Structure 1
């Protein structure tokens, strides 16, 4: 069932293999594979949730500026009398500028009510503002929380990129491991067929007395050696295919199994263009996260410095009732209430120590940022150099494989003419096989270095 699901999804996207592949094989390219992984792997779904959490952080920060309704009622009845009745309702509206707007209504009556609490029969309306003239004038906890929430939202975007970047590298490793195992198994299978055919030809030659029988023993040993290597390669290919399946999912919840007829194919990798290392480092998600962390410390430091200021809050409320033509028409400047509060620690030792600790933390983070930029720059340049070197090595090894093939063909011709031996043919064949395996390793190394270069650059 899992195979059927997989084929139903991906048969439209795979192309028929090259002529050197089996006729029934279908090519599953790296690009097609990565498209499936980046869209359907559970880690890709987790990365999407990161953005949703960032939006939730921002919503939480903005919630500090939500208007707030309030109300309370307190009444007391005793001995058939209403001692007091306090009714209050109000609305508070915080603003970004640290000014809080207020409006409310009070209706207080009762036999034992405090004189200062009496209101007109229809109640008393009020509207006013509250302003911090010391601490909280330029920044307060509400504004700091919103700034931090915006940084958190930005961080989730970068964290999503890092998660997808890690997934891409791991998935690339699985694909290229599968490619290397497949190519080795395919190479050893072809080589095993050749040495078996060579053994059959030698046995025919022994029948006619053209060569000694001992040559068939040498060829038999070579067949056994190739058979063992083929069995090891076949086991490795099976395990690598199973591991590749762990990256194939549908909608992040249903694991899929790759059809056995699918085969890998490497994309052509040309010499990579020169990279602007400084620009790449400056836009790297890890650097942006560091910078946002520094900004967060700066916001916190600013809040700590606010504590060095005195607490001075002034409130003013205009009052009005409904005894005349209306609240607005009867409003007069003589009806108001106001208040002020003041507090200040004399020595501010605690506050100054908190500022100092944050300044030390800020300097530490800035130092780490410089170090991180240097390390990223080195990694990008070193991986790029290694990739360029691998591409050059491939060109050299391809020529070496061609020369080993010429030597083997020439030795086979000499053997057919009776001027060589089975030992020399086996030696030439082993050298050619080792050279081809080395070439497969270099192709693997080249593409893994390309994947690592994308990884250190966070090229998603």
Structure 2
């Protein structure tokens, strides 16, 4: 509850600014993920699914609830009272398939059956399955399967929630990437505006040819077009981000102000934590992954179903014993088969057992199918871990190369500008160096984004392991 209250406070502080006079709002990755986890309809839906599974257990336990019943009746024709009856009964099912009953029955009248007993009669009874349903029955199977189903649902919903948060976080960093590219193009436009003004002045002083102003203007226009395109990409990614922003009443937020990221890619914890994460995931047992545990629990349900189907091969042999005692009579319990008793023995044996054989065979095949699904899922998890690990290490090494490459392009541009100021170069060469440097900067941003996305995939997969 404390964590939920803290998230609500964060959410209120963040979005109260949307309706104020401020022009923009900044949100960090951590705040964004907290909002998605607390308010996104899918995250709430997954939580509700767990509640449904818990209710299924309660419903299955209802099969073991005692049942209290009563009956009151009378028949009277032409002034003749055929019968007058009052009955109160309690049935108690037990875990081992044994049913206990207790009742009080009062019966009176002028035309009742000879086998009925007039007056008040107490009855205590027991029904015991001697073959089928003795070791296992539908009531026990339903309760066991409901418990396994809850664990299945919890595993499934945890994986789905983490997948949602992974998608949300990668959407956030895609948004950051587009913002940084947009800022990169903004700086390029600002630099080239200043360069154009300087070129115009030097031309007016007769220091540069007129063609240099055309070269500077062309370069500026090229970057202005790229800036507009970068801004459009940033706006589109902002709209994608908005799909994950919801109020606590499950209504989407309509942005009334521009929103900007509070985090930058180079400040992410991924750069300092990725080696530890890779080492941690290499030591993970795929059988501890929630997706595999889901199939384990499903296997438990199928094994329970197979046990239940096996009961159909047994003959149905039920023994019932009832002890009676008339009202106002002293009870005489022993011996059980001496007086005031009723017993019955019921036997049923399917002749060909075709239904039982078919049901049992189907149950076995489903178990085999689940085992195959488990193997596929286990292999899929191992492959994903290896793929994400390789991506992280590869992109990180590429980032180092790209950083050095970018530094070299920056030095070349600075050297070309120095030569230009000494009259040893041209504006065309400066623009060429600058274009390559901007391309290198953009590629550097894209590589960092790929690295972060791969890191997030492995990070959220880590959350799917049970420790």
Q: TM-score, normalised by structure 2?
A: 0.89
Q: Which residue of 2 aligns with 1:251?
A: 248
Q: Which residue of 1 aligns with 2:192?
A: 195
Q: Which residue of 1 aligns with 2:5?
A: none
Deviation at 1:459, TM superposition (A): 4.4
**Equivalent residue of 2:115, what SS?**
helix
What is the distance in 1 between the residues matched to 2:249 and 2:16? Answer: 21
2:269 is the alignment partner of 1:268 = yes
The change in CA–CA distance for 1:193 and 1:290 in structure 2 (over 3 A counts) is same
**Equivalent residue of 1:275, what SS?**
helix
**Equivalent residue of 2:258, what SS?**
coil
What is the distance in 1 between the residues matched to 2:64 and 2:15? Answer: 53
**Equivalent residue of 1:249, what SS?**
coil
**Equivalent residue of 2:107, what SS?**
strand
**Equivalent residue of 2:355, what SS?**
helix
The change in CA–CA distance for 1:315 and 1:279 in structure 2 (over 3 A counts) is farther
Q: Which residue of 1 aligns with 2:172?
A: 175
Taking the TM superposition and a 5 Å limit, the aligned residue runs for 1:319-338 are: 319-324=324-329, 326-327=330-331, 330-333=332-335, 334-338=339-343
Cα deviation 1:5-33 (Å, max 9, x = unaligned): 998523899xxxxxxxxxx9875321121
Q: Which residue of 1 aligns with 2:71?
A: 72
Cα deviation 1:433-460 (Å, max 9, x = unaligned): 0000001101111111112223444449
What is the distance in 1 between the residues matched to 2:181 and 2:247? Answer: 30
Deviation at 1:191, TM superposition (A): 0.5
Taking the TM superposition and a 5 Å limit, the aligned residue runs for 1:45-444 are: 45-119=44-118, 121=119, 123-257=120-254, 259-260=257-258, 262-265=260-263, 266=265, 267-269=268-270, 270=272, 271-273=274-276, 274-277=279-282, 279-324=284-329, 326-327=330-331, 330-333=332-335, 334-444=339-449
Cα deviation 1:139-194 (Å, max 9, x = unaligned): 11111110111112212211321221121022112201210110010000000111
Q: Which residue of 1 aligns with 2:13?
A: 9
**Equivalent residue of 2:214, what SS?**
helix
Q: TM-score, normalised by structure 1?
A: 0.90
Cα deviation 1:271-317 (Å, max 9, x = unaligned): 33213457452222221211111111111111111000000011111
The change in CA–CA distance for 1:169 and 1:261 in structure 2 (over 3 A counts) is closer
Contact 1:77 1:84 in 2 (8 A): yes
Contact 1:277 1:377 in 2 (8 A): no
What is the distance in 2 between the residues matched to 1:96 and 1:124? Answer: 28
What is the distance in 1 between the residues matched to 2:77 and 2:49? Answer: 59
**Equivalent residue of 1:106, what SS?**
strand
**Equivalent residue of 1:129, what SS?**
strand
Cα deviation 1:225-283 (Å, max 9, x = unaligned): 10101001111111211221221222152333565363341323133321345745222
Residue ranges of structure 2 left out of the alignment (5+ in a row): 1-8, 18-22
Residue ranges of structure 1 left out of the alignment (5+ in a row): 14-23
Contact 1:397 1:435 in 2 (8 A): yes
What is the distance in 2 between the residues matched to 1:146 and 1:277? Answer: 38
Contact 1:158 1:289 in 2 (8 A): yes
What is the distance in 2 between the residues matched to 1:321 and 1:384? Answer: 80
The change in CA–CA distance for 1:288 and 1:7 in structure 2 (over 3 A counts) is closer
Of 409-418 and 382-391, deviating more is 382-391
Contact 2:149 2:298 in 1 (8 A): no
The change in CA–CA distance for 1:89 and 1:279 in structure 2 (over 3 A counts) is farther
**Equivalent residue of 2:313, what SS?**
coil
Deviation at 1:367, TM superposition (A): 1.3
Q: Which residue of 2 aligns with 1:19?
A: none
The change in CA–CA distance for 1:291 and 1:392 in structure 2 (over 3 A counts) is same
The change in CA–CA distance for 1:244 and 1:434 in structure 2 (over 3 A counts) is same
What is the distance in 2 between the residues matched to 1:302 and 1:332? Answer: 38
Of 273-282 and 214-223, deviating more is 273-282
User: How many residue pairs get matched?
Assistant: 441
What is the distance in 2 between the residues matched to 1:232 and 1:349? Answer: 70
CA RMSD of aligned residues (A): 2.2
